[in-house]
Amino acid sequence: MTEVVEKESWKFPKDFWLANFMELCERAAYYGFFIVLTLYMTDIVGFTDIETGIIVGLFYGLLYLFPTFVGAYVDKIGFRKGLLIAFTLLTIGYFFLGVFLTKLPVVFFLFVLLVGASFIKPLITGTVAKTTTEKNRARGYSLFYWIVNIGAFSGKTFVPFIRQGLGLEYVNFFSAGMAFVALLFAYFFFDEPDKTSGSKSFKDTMRALKGILEKPRLWVLTLIITGFWLIQGQLYATMPKYVIRLLDETAKPEWLANVNPAVVVIFVVIVTQLMKKQKAVTSMLVGMLLMPLSALAMAMSQELEAITGTSISFFGMFDLHPLTVMMIVGIAIQGLAECFISPRFLEYFSFQAPKGEEGLYLGFSHLHSFLSAIIGFGLSGFLLTKYCPDPKTLPAGLTEIQRAAYYDDAHYIWYYFVAIGIVSAVSLLAFKIVTERIDKKAELNT
Please tell me the distance from the alpha carbon of residue 15 to that of residue 13, in angstroms, as a whole number.
Answer: 6
What kind and span of H or E run contains 312?
Answer: strand 312-314
> pLDDT at residue 208 above 90?
no
Cβ within 8 Å of residue 421, ≥6 positions away? 227, 228, 231, 288, 291, 292, 293, 294, 295
Q: Return the pLDDT at 345.
A: 85
pLDDT single digits (tens) 24-53? 999 999 999 999 999 999 999 999 999 999
Cα-based torsion angle of the residue sequence 341, 343, 348, 349 in order, rounded to the nearest 10 degrees? 110
Please tell me the distance from the alpha carbon of residue 270 to that of residue 283, in angstroms, as a whole number.
Answer: 13
Smallest CA-to-CA distance from 352 within 440, 281, 424, 430 is with 281
- List the alpha helices (DSSP H) in 189-215: 202-213
Q: What are phi and psi of 406, to 5 degrees?
A: -70, -15
pLDDT single digits (tens) 109-153? 999 999 999 888 778 877 777 787 767 776 777 778 778 888 988
Please tell me the distance from the alpha carbon of residue 70 to that of residue 72, in angstroms, as a whole number.
Answer: 6
**Count of beta carbons in the 10 Å neighbourhood of residue 2:** 4
Please tell me the distance from the alpha carbon of residue 89 to that of residue 278, in angstroms, as a whole number.
Answer: 44
Query: Spelled out in words, what is the top-level CATH class assigned to the domain 200-446?
Result: mainly alpha
Lowest mean pLDDT among 155-159, 196-200, 203-207, 256-260: 196-200
Q: Indicate the CATH number for domain 11-197.
A: 1.20.1250.20
pLDDT band at 213 (very low <50, low <70, confident <90, very high): confident
Q: Where, residue-wise, is CATH 1.20.1250.20 in the chain?
A: 11-197, 200-446
Q: In angstroms, what CA-CA distances link 300 with 97, 231, 306, 310?
A: 36, 16, 10, 14
Specify the pTM. Answer: 0.89
Specify whether the CB–CB gap between 30 and 175 falls below 8 A.
Answer: yes
Please tell me the distance from the alpha carbon of residue 417 to that of residue 294, in angstroms, as a whole number.
Answer: 9
pLDDT single digits (tens) 292-305? 999 999 999 999 99
Specify whether the CB–CB gap between 160 and 168 falls below 8 A.
Answer: no
Q: Return the pLDDT at 58.
A: 96
pLDDT single digits (tens) 364-417? 778 889 999 999 999 999 999 999 999 999 998 899 999 999 999 999 999 999
Q: In angstroms, what CA-CA distances link 261 with 41, 275, 428?
A: 25, 20, 25
